[in-house]
Amino acid sequence: MSAFYDAIAPQFQQSRALPFRHHVEAYTYLNLIGEVTDQRILDLACGEGTYSRLLKQRGAARVVGVDISAQMIALAQQAEATQPLGIEYIVCDVQALGQIGDFDQVVASYLLNHAPTREQLLGMCQTIFANLKPGGRFVSINNHLEQPPETYGICEQYGFTKQISGDLREGTPITVSFPSEGSVFSIEDYYLSQDTYECALQTAGFPQVQWHSLSISPEGLQVFGADFWQDCLDYPPIIGISCQKPGASDS
């Protein structure tokens, strides 16, 4: 997995420029995360650090980014060297991370959808739970694995494709592809049901799991029009997830 992401790190970074990723993904995700002033944030599967930097710029007191790819972290550290924000970066598999702190929020973009088995999904969820303070929140944006495959075609107008070989069964690969400078790079996610996700998160210790619909930024609506975005609202290719660790909600 780490070698795969090392190879596509620059292309993955370029894909951030897609209007869908800015006006839908980032807008939905950051709204779910909400106020971060003076908070301690752990950003899992941080990639090249885009969201780590945005959260620090929005007032977080401490941000720690973790990714399995050394090349992704190298890009994040290059950005940190160019514009220092005081973000800490760690190269590590989330399942092997252990507890490194008591954070106000643990956030993760496209982490859980990389788990091919229930056991690996549970391992990720246990790491998330262990790193939250009592009352802390987990927020994620994730491939919407329950999107009906017959609606995958709507993704093309937003700059990417989704493909599946076979039925939606536990562990079935779902390939997400992005064009990049005349070529294409692909990421492999895995189908696990919404029930499996809820079971893993609840087994890890979260009493309740919330699923969140997508939102379109006002700028995205103004520039592209509401009709352009309707398909992604009707058949959302990604989805938000949030949970709260039991306990006091204050530091």
Name the residue ranges covered by the structural domains of the chain: 2-244
CA distance 74 to 48: 7
What pLDDT is recorded for position 183? 74
Which residues are CB-contacts of 121 (< 8 A; sequence separation ≥ 6)?
A: 112, 115, 192, 196, 197, 200
What pLDDT is recorded for position 15? 57
What pLDDT is recorded for position 16? 62
Q: What is the 3-state secondary structure (H, E, C) of 56-97?
A: HHCCCCEEEEEECCHHHHHHHHHHHHHCCCCCEEEECCHHHC
Segments of the chain with pLDDT less than 70: 1-16, 249-251
Tokens of residue 167, six digits: 């039925």
Contact 30, 105 (CB under 8 A): no
What pLDDT is recorded for position 34? 98
Domain 2-244: which CATH number of 3.20.20.70, 2.60.120.260, 3.40.50.150, 3.30.70.420:
3.40.50.150
What pLDDT is recorded for position 165? 83
Contact 94, 111 (CB under 8 A): yes
Instruction: Return the C-alpha torsion angle 209, 112, 51, 75, nearest 10.
Output: 170
Q: What mean pLDDT value characterizes the chain?
A: 93
CA distance 244 to 128: 11
- On whether the pTM is more than 0.85, the answer is yes
